[in-house]
Amino acid sequence: MKDGTAQGVAKVRHYESLHEPSKRLYHDPYAQHMYLGSFVQRWLGEGGTRWLYRVCGFEGILDMLSIRTRWIDDEIMKVANDGKEKQQLIILGAGYDTRGFRLNLQPAFECVWEVDQTEVQTKKIRNLRQIKDDVCIQERIDSCFVRFIGIDFNQESIDEKLQSSEGYSIHTPSVVTLEGVTQYLPKDSTAETLTALKKAVPAGSILLITYVDQNVLDDPIQCGPPNEVKKAVNSASMVGEPWISFWTPDEFSSCLKELGYNVMSDSIPYDYIEKYLTPLGRNTEKKEMLAMEHFVVATIE
């Protein structure tokens, strides 16, 4: 089982949750239970943890990943608050995502479907059940509001796994997330995944997807401090989960359009500094932040 990246993202969500309530982008009370050694960040606190990332040359990734998390949270809650019709949330490559437990999704969402490797799902459920005195976890698992689908991405099709799962409906409007995944897949595998997804959800469903910019290789300074950009790429390889796919905005947009998706927006972390960080008094400058990923909203035609 490879879950180094998933644990790394959990670390960042834990870091963000260490901020004072008036300073944080979101609160994920479960993130600290999803990776080993979380006591270190608890002991260091928000300031000490950021200092440690700075010393290690990874400070820029903190705000990038926290903004990504908040962006997806906001897009999901936008649908939840719209109230037009019942929805289902599908989290592909869920890792240690805890949105099914920490977001106020009911009653707008009927169900949350988490899709990932069986080993990762098993570990996640075990970690969640070990959290004492949390009624939300118990209720949402026991009531099947959050459901876990184990899959071998190399052998099984997403549409077949979803449609064969008890309670799943291909007619229910869906919000689908594919967060921080496409860089680990060959481009044709991303296309195959999105093609399969179209068979499992109705037209009008929303896709929230991210991809890594080709400039990470061609012109790193466009994506943040060049040394940190290089370290981010190298660290993925060091944990056995290398980034293998990079896209230009035009290339990614064309791919989605060819597959039957209508691109509504394509943004980068820099676009959210004034919206998310500045109001909290967090004066991060562009030169300090990584902006390697693009955040895309698309609808299924």
187-198 vs 249-258: helix crossing angle, rounded to 10: 40
CB crowding 284-297: b at 16 or more within 10 Å, else e:
beeeebbbbbbbbb
Nearest CA among 207, 215, 212, 282 for reference residue 252: 212
For residue 94, the model assigns a pLDDT of: 95
How much is the CA Rg of the chain, to the nearest whole Å? 18
For residue 1, the model assigns a pLDDT of: 66
Q: Which tokens go with 128?
A: 């969640």
Backbone angles phi, psi at 185, to 5 degrees: -110, 145
Contact partners, residue 247, CB within 8 Å, separation at least 6: 182, 187, 211, 212, 213, 214, 255, 294
Distance CA 31, CA 38 (A): 9
For residue 188, the model assigns a pLDDT of: 95
Distance CA 109, CA 102 (A): 13
Give 10-residue mean pLDDT values along the chain (301 residues). Answer: 87 97 97 95 96 92 96 97 90 96 95 95 93 89 94 87 95 97 95 96 97 98 94 90 96 98 97 95 87 98 92
